[in-house]
Amino acid sequence: MESGSRKTIQLGIVSPSALLYESEVSYVQIPLHDGLIGVLPGHAPYVSILGFGVLTLNDEIGVSRFVIDGGFVEITPERITVLANHGENLEKVDFEAAQRDYDEVLQMSATGEVEMQRLQDRLQAARTRLAWKGR
């Protein structure tokens, strides 16, 4: 089958601790470091840095969402591979834990650039999760 006539594309979402998702999708919206990208089957090859945000996909079951905290994405006409620093299904997010982490990070101080970046990343991860609370 020609890539232009494909109706689905293989999507794999992987974190260091787990395979989060592996299936065929008809569309996926991915949070990049500089905005969102929408991907359909047959997309041109592309590699980018992931941002903090919610990845939304359409598969045969319906719409699913995953919170992504940075990493990399590789797109080919046949496959999308998301290598996330951390990720989780939005339906399984512990919003109380995200609120506690957010509050804890606000009370912390950093002494160096690396530590400051780590705290900023934790804060952004908590904000991303809390933004979806109640949706």
Q: What is the DSSP string of 44-93?
A: PPEEEEEEEEEEEEE-SS-EEEEEEEEEEEEE-SSEEEEEESSEEEGGG-
Residues 42 and 77 in one domain: yes
Q: Answer yes or no: do 75 and 45 share one domain.
A: yes
Q: Are residues 11 and 58 in the same domain?
A: yes
Do 70 and 104 belong to one domain? no
Closest to 57 in 3D by CA, of 35, 40, 75: 40
CATH code, 59 = 2.60.15.10
Tens digit of pLDDT at every position of the chain (135 positions): 444 578 999 999 999 999 999 999 999 999 999 999 999 999 999 999 999 999 999 999 999 999 999 999 999 999 999 999 999 998 887 878 888 888 887 888 878 888 888 878 877 888 888 787 766
77 and 15 in a single domain? The answer is yes
Number of domains in the chain: 2
**Residue 99 and residue 83 share a domain:** no
Q: Clarify whether residues 117 and 64 are in a common domain.
A: no
Range of the domain at 17: 3-90
**77 shares a domain with 23:** yes
**pTM value > 0.75:** yes
